[in-house]
């Protein structure tokens, strides 16, 4: 998937595309998700620094904007962090609030099923049918592999999720991983080579961890070993 980068001459249009994706995703979900996404969008449109990918705002200020108490702010921000839409860039210290950021890759992946609700022109514009270019080495030729079978254990279900999110990336880098089992809350994956394992750890580990965590919330880590 081609990831939108809100920079350059078309930055304003790209920002609207990201917000449109979030809106469509919320409208296709229940009222709890709608409220959560609306609250996040209020932070983005009022305080988010797109260029630096930074949101610096205290819980008291957020509570005032959302018209809720600080306990609700803590709960909803925890949900957004668990979704990995919001990430902590710098933890707050005494007298300073935390600096947060947005994982736009994660946002666009999660909202992708709702893009057709906006229109075919939107899907074409944001790259819904484009091959992945941000992660896969251009010298790698991905061969189509059989679809993963959902339900064959934790890793099998996570594979199905990853393949649905970004099939070219899955074919090139993830399909060859084998299940090493779960040990003390960590999913172990076996890569075919040291190079492959290093690349995955550097570029794709967060995405693997998210898929595993969403499949089984008790498994919070992923480790990549080699044969």
Q: Which pLDDT score is estimated for 190?
A: 93
- The helix (run of H) or strand (run of E) holding residue 211 is helix 205-215
Encoded tokens for 203: 């570029």
Give the mean model confidence (pLDDT) for residues 160-177: 87
pLDDT tens for 51-63 read: 899 999 999 999 9
Q: Is the pLDDT of residue 149 over 50?
A: no
The CATH number for 11-108, chosen from 3.30.465.10, 1.10.10.10, 3.40.50.300, 3.20.20.150, is 1.10.10.10
Q: Which pLDDT score is estimated for 73?
A: 96
pLDDT tens for 179-213 read: 999 999 999 999 988 888 888 888 888 889 888 98
Q: Which pLDDT score is estimated for 13?
A: 84
Q: What is the DSSP letter of 135?
A: S
Encoded tokens for 170: 């899955």
Q: Is the pLDDT of residue 157 over 80?
A: yes
Q: Which pLDDT score is estimated for 142?
A: 46
Encoded tokens for 101: 């950021």
Confidence of residue 138 (pLDDT cuts 50, 70, 90): very low
Q: Which pLDDT score is estimated for 3?
A: 55
pLDDT tens for 10-65 read: 678 889 999 999 999 999 999 999 999 999 999 999 999 998 999 999 999 999 99
Encoded tokens for 117: 């609700």
Rg value, the chain, Cα: 19
Q: Which pLDDT score is estimated for 136?
A: 43
Q: Which pLDDT score is estimated for 30?
A: 93
The residue ranges of every structural domain in the chain are: 11-108, 133-226
- CATH superfamily of the domain spanning 133-226: DnaA, N-terminal domain (3.30.300.180)
Cα angle 12, 45, 115 (rounded to 5 degrees) comes to: 65
pLDDT tens for 91-100 read: 877 778 889 9
């Amino acid at each position: 998937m081609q990831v939108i980068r809100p920079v350059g001459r078309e930055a304003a249009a790209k920002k609207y595309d990201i917000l449109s994706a979030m809106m469509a995703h919320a409208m296709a979900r229940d009222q709890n998700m709608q409220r959560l996404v609306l609250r996040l969008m209020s932070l983005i449109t009022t305080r988010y620094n797109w260029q630096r990918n930074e949101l610096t705002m205290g819980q008291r200020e957020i509570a005032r904007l959302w018209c809720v108490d600080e306990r609700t702010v803590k709960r909803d921000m925890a949900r957004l962090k668990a979704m990995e839409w919001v990430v902590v860039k710098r933890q707050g210290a005494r007298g300073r609030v935390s600096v947060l950021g947005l994982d736009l890759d994660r946002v666009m992946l999660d909202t992708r099923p709702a893009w057709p609700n906006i229109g075919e022109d939107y899907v074409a514009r944001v790259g819904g049918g484009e091959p992945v270019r941000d992660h896969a080495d251009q010298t790698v030729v991905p061969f189509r592999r059989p679809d993963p079978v959902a339900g064959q254990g934790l890793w099998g279900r996570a594979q199905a999720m990853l393949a649905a999110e970004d099939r070219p990336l899955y074919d090139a880098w993830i399909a060859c991983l084998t299940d090493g089992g779960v040990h003390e809350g960590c999913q172990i994956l076996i890569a075919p080579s040291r190079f492959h394992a290093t690349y995955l750890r550097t570029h794709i580990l967060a995405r693997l961890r998210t898929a595993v965590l969403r499949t089984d919330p008790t498994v919070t880590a992923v480790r990549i070993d080699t044969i």
